[in-house]
Amino acid sequence: MNAFVAELVSGAVGVARPRIEGPAKVTGAARYAADEPMPDLAFGAIVMSAVSRGRVRDLDVPAVLGMPGVIGVVDHRNAPRLSPLAGTFFGPDGGLLMLQDGVVPYAGCPVALVVARTPEQAKAAADALPVTYDEQPHDTHFSAGHPAARPASTVFGEDANVGDVEAELARSAVVVDEWYRTPEEHCGAMELHSATAWWDGERLQAVDCNQGPFIVATGLATLFSLEPERVRVRAEHVGGGFGSKGLCGPQLVLAVMGATLFGRPVRVTMSRHQVFLMTPPRPATEQRVRIGAGADGSLRAIDHEAAFEVSPLASYVENCVEPTKTLYAAAAIRTRLTAVPLDILPPFSVRGPGLTPGSFALESAMDEVAERLGLDPLELRLRNEPAAGPVSGLPFSRRDLVACLREGARRFGWADRDHRPRTRREGRLLAGTGLAATAFSTGALPSSASITAEADGSFTVAVGASDIGTGARTALIAVAADALRVGTDRIRMRIADSDFGPAWAAGGSRGTASWSWAITDAAAKLRERLGDPERPVTVTADTTRVLGGLPPRERHAYSAIFAQVTADPATGEVRVRRLLGMFAVGRVVNPLLARSQAVGGMIMGLSMALHEEGVRDRASGRQVNADFAGYHIAAHADVPDVEADFVPDYEPDDPSGIKGVGEIGTVGTAAAIANAVWHATGVRQRTLPIRVDRVLEDDPR
């Protein structure tokens, strides 16, 4: 046990506590972005492009100006000018440049904002606004072999080129060479995207729903060419994000435009249909995986080529090959990432970006290797544990994948499994089990926090964190209490305000680690000054420098997911009967909240495996199922008992031992389910979702 674990064993970290804002949420007292009371508030309704590519020929604004309550219309002729420098983690993002020139780059792009006294009046006028277009041919049809395909940005590192893949494949006893496909998928957060913006003298203020108020405020300042100090963004309560609230959203950009033009607070709340068309999807992927193995199950070569769709407006990388670079030892490892630009909204991070479709391909292919070798898929993974990063050569900080696999197998009852497919029946149903292993990269990102020792002996902690439903507030209170060596009742946690200073977002499974480190550093500074007679006293810490000095290592969370399914050969229906995930996520700050994260992630993985599919009509270029009637997600009746638990783990380089738990639940689940469907039916499902027609069409008899 390392020092901090021993020291804090009796502290608040590690104790299961319900989220402190729970009562406020269930009684309706908690205010989400669309709930904030505001005097003189006007409402904006977005008009979306009806075509997939072209130019607005005319917007007949006078036709709606006389409608009840209408205050005005923002379009490309009167909108404030935006800076093309604004962007995301991936670089400048032309998708943010709304209402600038009348150019339509994708179906559903905003072409106007109608502002009125009530939401109903705004919507009525937006629906009535006559818009004509000069339409141009569009291309929204994705395939890996598309002529526009080009190498993806290397923002996540260079392609892997270890050893000689072709030579090792030639030497292998078995070779799997298959294509795997995943569709466009959507975040589908329960809270619709909403923002309210107003000018407070020279200062732009906004209440928004987002995953990182500081990052969003900085982006907004760049976009509107304002000094960063002149922009304040808050996001007190957020009803889910999953990636879709990680950037400066259309609701916020358009609300600022309305507030600027009409000189009063403007609120923009999207409809569900608009959330589907205007907030970024996970791009569709096509992935070819080749794996060669010796007769003893040792991997000789892994070659993973992943193609995904992008927009020419913005760089984005769906980093499908991350697991391939770290999960298994092999004599040769090669990865390639290919981006295919299409006339679509720029895709962005969704629920375990990159790794989720990537691990579906890799872990399905691994199961196919085990099948061809006649080897237990668990054993195949255990035999290929690397001693160091298989591509990077770096040491692992802590690698607890084997512990996850062994403990998961023990609890699931894997030892009794008959590995032959299509041999078990439950009445007319075919039954099977499957597993998948995963890793998810972790590590804190630069953040700041301040702590005030108040005159009454309490402490006010301020950090620009965002609680998107995870319980971040509650987790951070425990971290702060332990760092200050006081009880949680003496901590007042203030989050979700860009005025609290630079902070990483609730994204990349790195929120808790990033914010906790800043809080811990601030607490250490404050403890040195607790003898000061003067109160209140405030200290601030910023982790940028300390993080820059960390030794390079492979830092990951790990999981092993086990699934049990039935398949109905008459209808093609697959039901998941049991899901079990064992996780190594570093120190668990709050077991109740962490389990909720892991279980929620696994449910998303189940939903991805069986239900979710954004369907694009090739002729119009539009998504045809842009609502929850057409875009299916797992409902209660689809979700079995889900078990999630944690093996003892900690991150040695993190002051609180934290890795991250946000997304790893999602990552391995689809492959575990697809592998179980193979075990049940004898048929591989290499295209998601595993729809009934795919199960039926692939019946081997």
Which residues of the shown chain bind ligand MOS in the complex (CB under 6 A)? 211, 241-243, 246, 349-351, 353, 507-508
Residues annotated as part of the active site: 663
Pair 563, 578: CB distance under 8 Å? yes
Which of residues 14 and 240 has its CB atom nearest to ligand MOS in the complex?
A: 240
Which of residues 258 and 347 has its CB atom nearest to ligand MOS in the complex?
A: 347
Which of residues 11 and 246 has its CB atom nearest to ligand MOS in the complex?
A: 246
- The CB-of-633 to ligand MOS minimum distance in angstroms stands at 16
In Å, what is the CA distance from 98 to each residue of 204, 553, 675?
18, 41, 44
Which of residues 239 and 434 has its CB atom nearest to ligand MOS in the complex?
A: 239
- The CB-of-350 to ligand MOS minimum distance in angstroms stands at 5
395: burial class by Cβ within 10 Å (0-12, 13-18, 19+)? middle
Q: How far apart are CA 224 and CA 428, in angstroms?
A: 62
- The CB-of-349 to ligand MOS minimum distance in angstroms stands at 4
- The tally of CA atoms less than 13 A away on the side-chain side of residue 692 is 7
Q: What is the 3-state secondary structure (H, E, C) of 4-71?
A: HHHHHCCCCCCCCCCCCCHHHHHCCCCCEHHHCCCCCCEEEEEEECCCCCEEEEEECCHHHHCCCCEE
Which of residues 258 and 471 has its CB atom nearest to ligand MOS in the complex?
A: 471
Under DSSP, is residue 444 helix (H, G, I), strand (E, B) or coil?
coil
591-610 vs 669-681: helix crossing angle, rounded to 10 = 50
Which of residues 281 and 689 has its CB atom nearest to ligand MOS in the complex?
A: 281
Which of residues 246 and 265 has its CB atom nearest to ligand MOS in the complex?
A: 246
Closest CA to 436 of 549, 561, 614: 561
- The CB-of-241 to ligand MOS minimum distance in angstroms stands at 6
Pair 449, 518: CB distance under 8 Å? yes
- The CB-of-254 to ligand MOS minimum distance in angstroms stands at 22
Closest CA to 314 of 336, 347, 363: 347
- Beta strands (DSSP E) in 201-324 are 203-208, 231-234, 266-269, 285-293, 299-310
- The CB-of-439 to ligand MOS minimum distance in angstroms stands at 15
What string of DSSP letters covers 503-558? ---S-TT-HHHHHHHHHHHHHHHHHHTTT-S-SSEEEEEE-HHHHHTSPP-B-EEE
Structure tokens at 111: 């072409």
DSSP bridge partners of 538 = 452
Closest CA to 158 of 360, 379, 317: 317
Which of residues 491 and 664 has its CB atom nearest to ligand MOS in the complex?
A: 664
DSSP 384: T
Q: How far apart are CA 236 and CA 41, in angstroms?
A: 19
Laid out side by side, the sheet with 103-104 consists of: 103-104, 54-59, 131-135
Which of residues 484 and 634 has its CB atom nearest to ligand MOS in the complex?
A: 634
Pair 309, 142: CB distance under 8 Å? yes
Sign of CA dihedral 253, 255, 259, 262: positive
Looking only at the bridges linking them, the beta strands covering 103-104 and 54-59 are antiparallel
Q: How far is CA 435 from its chain centroid?
A: 22
Q: How far apart are CA 100 and CA 260, in angstroms?
A: 15
- The CB-of-505 to ligand MOS minimum distance in angstroms stands at 7
Under DSSP, is residue 188 helix (H, G, I), strand (E, B) or coil?
coil
In Å, what is the CA distance from 71 to each residue of 65, 255, 263, 445, 490?
7, 14, 11, 43, 48
Amino acid, single-letter form, for residue 203: R
Structure tokens at 384: 């290929």
Kindly report whether the peptide bond that precedes residue 552 is cis, defined as omega within 30 degrees of 0: no
State the residue number with the nearest CB to ligand MOS: 243
- The CB-of-689 to ligand MOS minimum distance in angstroms stands at 19
Which of residues 241 and 469 has its CB atom nearest to ligand MOS in the complex?
A: 241
Which of residues 241 and 572 has its CB atom nearest to ligand MOS in the complex?
A: 241
Structure tokens at 92: 């400048």
- The CB-of-475 to ligand MOS minimum distance in angstroms stands at 17
Structure tokens at 287: 């992935």
- The CB-of-153 to ligand MOS minimum distance in angstroms stands at 17
Which of residues 80 and 240 has its CB atom nearest to ligand MOS in the complex?
A: 240
- The CB-of-540 to ligand MOS minimum distance in angstroms stands at 26
- The CB-of-87 to ligand MOS minimum distance in angstroms stands at 16
Contacts for 120 with CB less than 8 Å, ≥ 6 apart: none
